[in-house]
Amino acid sequence: MKAPAPAHDTRRFFWLRLHSLSGVVPVGLFVLLHFYTNSFSQLGPAAFDARLASWEKIPFAAAFQVLFIYLPILFHAALGIWITLRGKQNTLAYPYFGNLRYTLQRLSGIGVLLFVGAHVFKTKIEPWWEGFPMSFAHMSEAMREPITLTVYVLGILGTTYHLANGLWTFCITWGLAVSRRAQRWLSVLSFVLFGILFLVGLNAILGFLGQGVEL
């Protein structure tokens, strides 16, 4: 008779599953929706500002953002930090591709967390502090600052990798891709998704610079 798993293993299994799920719903869905909103930069100031205004018309918009955006992101980030601190990195000893992906996932998670802080400051805190509304003009001016532009490009790179690779691990963790063949195909699809999302995010930046290319 197989011995029951220790309580700490059961708890760890539960939190790992919850972390994986929260990275897709609602955090992953929000990232996709956010990329879609930013893509309106391709259509010019009027279209982008109108898109932002539509968000503000959502009933209880502030409460919605806190409950379904900020708190889930903080929850996912806190669990991710806990996993990172307890994980054993053996990439140098065993330089397999899976270990490299795991390490990049953890590092990109830390980078994304820092990027989210910078993004919130630029799009929420700074406009509120200076007393002007968030707008296309504000982002256009920000993207012309070399440091801000670099932060956003790297932030989008880390975010898109973290999401695409996270979807790959989600499908494996939740038993949606069991066989090696399925996992290989899923791996290819995740890298394709990573490339597409990165180009979409990069094109949004170019839109703020008046150089967007409609996708």
- Nearest residue to 24 (alpha-carbon basis) of 171, 136, 155: 171
Has residue 111 been placed in a domain? yes
Is the confidence at residue 36, as pLDDT, over 90? Answer: yes
Q: What are phi and psi of 52, to 5 degrees?
A: -65, -40
Digit-coded pLDDT (tens) for 158-202: 999 999 999 999 998 898 988 989 989 999 999 999 999 999 999
Has residue 158 been placed in a domain? yes
- Nearest residue to 182 (alpha-carbon basis) of 192, 173, 172: 172
Is the confidence at residue 7, as pLDDT, over 60? Answer: no
Note the pLDDT of residue 154: 98
- Contacts (Cβ under 8 Å, ≥6 apart) of 105: 161, 162, 165, 166, 169
Is the confidence at residue 2, as pLDDT, over 60? Answer: no
pTM: 0.89
Note the pLDDT of residue 17: 87
Domain count across the chain? 1
Has residue 7 been placed in a domain? no
Digit-coded pLDDT (tens) for 14-33: 888 888 999 999 999 999 99
Has residue 90 been placed in a domain? yes
How many whole angstroms from its chain centre is CA 44? 25
State which residues form the domain around 134: 15-208
Digit-coded pLDDT (tens) for 86-131: 765 554 444 577 788 888 998 999 999 999 999 999 999 999 999 9
- Residues listed for the chain: 215
CATH value at residue 186: 1.20.1300.10
Angle between helix 7-24 and helix 27-38 axes, rounded to 10 deg: 20
Is the confidence at residue 69, as pLDDT, over 60? Answer: yes
Note the pLDDT of residue 89: 54
Note the pLDDT of residue 211: 64
Has residue 181 been placed in a domain? yes
